[in-house]
Copies of this chain bind each other. A is one copy, B any other.
Amino acid sequence: MSIKIIEIQKRVYANNDAKAEVLRNELKSNQTFMINLMSSPGSGKTTFVVSTINLLKEELNIGVIEADIDSDVDAITVQKSGARVMQLHSGGMCHIDAGMTSEGLEALDYEDLDFVILENIGNLICPASYDLGQAKNVMILSVPEGHDKPLKYPKMFTKVDALIISKVDTVSLFDFDFEKVTEYAKSLNPEINIFPLSAKTGEGMDAWIKYIKNEIMGWRT
Contacts and interface: CB of A to CB of B under 8 A. Distances in A.
A88 to B, nearest CB: 13
Q: How many copies does the complex hold?
A: 2
A71 B155 CA distance: 12
Interface in A8-64: 40-42
Contacts of A170: 144, 170, 173-174
B73 A42 contact: no
A209 interface: no
Contacts of A74: 152
A155 to B, nearest CB: 7
A50 to B, nearest CB: 14
A149 interface: yes
Contacts of A152: 41, 68-71, 73-74, 122
B41 A151 contact: no
Interface stretch (A98-106, A109-117, A123-131, A210-218): A123-131
Taking chain A's interface residues, is the majority helix, strand, or loop, or is none over half, making it mixed?
loop
Given A70-B152, A152-B69, A173-B169, A42 B144 contact: yes
Nearest to A144: B144
Q: Which of A93, A125, A149, A174 has the most CB of B within 10 A?
A: A125
B68 A155 contact: no
A193 B179 CA distance: 39
15 contacts: A40-B42, A42-B142, A42-B149, A69-B125, A69-B154, A70-B151, A70-B152, A93-B125, A94-B123, A122-B152, A123-B123, A144-B145, A144-B170, A169-B173, A170-B173
A-B pairs, top 10 by smallest CB distance, nearest first, are A42-B145, A144-B144, A94-B125, A71-B151, A40-B41, A170-B173, A40-B40, A42-B146, A71-B152, A41-B124
Interface of A: 40-42, 68-71, 73-74, 92-94, 121-126, 142, 144-146, 148-149, 151-155, 167, 169-170, 173-174
